[in-house]
Amino acid sequence: MRKLKVVVPVAAALVAAGVASASANAPITAQALAAAKIAHPLSIRTSKPGNVVFVQVKVMPGGDFGWHFHRSPVVAAVTAGTLTLYDSSDPKCTPQRIAAGNAFTEAANHVHLARNEGTTPVRVMVAYLGAPSGQKPDVPAKAPAQCASVK
């Protein structure tokens, strides 16, 4: 099994330092597309080679992804609005609100629902880490029994 440690603050600092030290004629430039805080340390394991896929998502008010899981681990940064997550591992299926400037992770094959319960669009930058080639990264799933009230 391969292990990938994601260190978001260090990576963001390196990008910022590279941009700050670049001269007007530098052969390399960088622009941060998203930066967000991850509340918990994380490590990601992949069992076989795959793809890294970056997606920018816009969720309009009332929009949701439905219950689903990802074929690979995911890191997501909310860049605008507030995204509400419902987690199948929570016995009470308590909503978790992720505001702009914050990030979250999802393990491969972990069932959850994400939606915009607010009044403004939500934007999310998503990185699929180790996504299998030729397959959709998201797979629809049934709502867990403890989350039957979440419609």
- Model pLDDT for residues 45-81, shown as the tens digit of each residue: 777 889 999 999 999 999 999 999 999 999 999 999 9
Contact 58, 80 (CB under 8 A): no
Average pLDDT over the chain, rounded to an integer: 85
The predicted model gives 126-135 an average pLDDT of 93
- Please state the pTM of the whole predicted model: 0.79
The pLDDT value recorded for residue 24 is: 65
Give the whole-angstrom CA distance, residue 108 versus residue 75: 11
Sign of CA dihedral 20, 21, 27, 30: negative
Give the whole-angstrom CA distance, residue 25 versus residue 78: 33
Q: Residue 6 pLDDT more than 50? A: no
The predicted model gives 22-28 an average pLDDT of 71
**Which option is the CATH number for 34-147: 2.60.120.10, 3.40.30.10, 2.60.40.10, 1.20.1740.10?**
2.60.120.10
Domain boundaries, the chain: 34-147
